[in-house]
């Protein structure tokens, strides 16, 4: 499981003309699922997303607080393209990304666990499988890449 985490001042997802997810300050998380991901990968990713200290504390100390510590929002967006291979040729290869029927259930389980680890009302998401416009106002900019298969 891969995630690109961006600290944001705001973020939103639009499908067509409908805003389907929108947050103020918090994290925008682009999530990719691969063929051999399981519940352990989901659990690890949820813990990392909710506890990573990417925010300043009240005194201005950098890297001191997590999204959970500050009761901030999370916008999650499913993104199979995180598993694209583009080493050969000019067309990306997506065979490492889990097929939609598998990844959809895992992604929704991920969202449920994210809500339980933080607060359900603080979690927003896009629309799985839809063509989405994602608007991200990166704060910093701060962008962190996580891969559950590369944890140590």
Residues ≥6 apart with Cβ < 8 Å to 151: 44
Residues ≥6 apart with Cβ < 8 Å to 77: 13, 21, 28, 29, 30, 31, 125, 126, 132, 134
Pick the catalytic residue: 6, 34, 50, 79? 79
Q: Is the dihedral of CA 112, 116, 117, 119 positive or negative?
A: positive
Cβ atoms within 10 A of the Cβ of 93, count? Answer: 13
128 included as an active-site residue: no
Q: Give the angle 128-37-138 at the CA atoms, nearest 5°.
A: 55
81 included as an active-site residue: yes
Pick the catalytic residue: 81, 124, 143, 152? 81
Pick the catalytic residue: 34, 80, 110, 124? 80
Report the catalytic residues: 79-81
């Amino acid at each position: 499981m891969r995630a690109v985490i961006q600290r944001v001042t705001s973020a939103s997802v639009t499908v067509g003309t409908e805003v389907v997810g929108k947050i103020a300050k918090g994290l925008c998380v682009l999530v990719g699922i691969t063929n051999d991901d399981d519940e352990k990968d989901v659990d690890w990713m949820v813990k990392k997303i909710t506890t990573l200290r990417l925010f300043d504390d009240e005194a201005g100390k950098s890297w001191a607080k997590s999204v959970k510590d500050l009761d901030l929002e999370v916008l999650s967006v499913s993104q199979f393209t995180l598993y694209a291979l583009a080493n050969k040729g000019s067309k990306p290869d997506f065979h490492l990304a889990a097929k939609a029927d598998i990844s959809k259930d895992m992604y929704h389980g991920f969202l449920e666990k994210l809500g339980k680890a933080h607060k359900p009302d603080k979690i927003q998401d896009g629309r799985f499988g839809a063509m989405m416009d994602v608007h991200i106002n990166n704060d910093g900019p701060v962008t962190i890449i996580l891969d559950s298969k590369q944890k140590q």
